Amino acid sequence: MGRLRARNCPLGLLGLLLLAACSPIVDASFSDIEVTRPDIPVPPAMIAGASSVMFSFSFDSTKLGANANLTAQSQIVSVKLRSLELTAKGAVTDLSFIQTLHAFAFVPKAKTNFDSTQQVEIADYEQRGNQPAGATFSVPLPEPVDILPLLQPSVTDQRKIVVVVNLGGQLPSQSWTIDVSMSLSIELKQ
Q: Which letter does DSSP use for residue 16 in this model?
A: H
Cα–Cα distance for residue pair 66/122, rounded to 1 Å = 18
Cα–Cα distance for residue pair 98/109, rounded to 1 Å = 32
Confidence tier at 136 by pLDDT (50, 70, 90): very high
Would you say the pTM of this structure is higher than 0.85? no
Q: Which of 91-100, 145-154, 178-187 has the lowest mean pLDDT?
A: 145-154
Q: Which domains does the chain have, with CATH numbers?
A: 26-189 (2.60.120)
Confidence tier at 179 by pLDDT (50, 70, 90): very high
The dihedrals phi and psi of 8, each to the nearest 5 degrees, come to: -90, -10
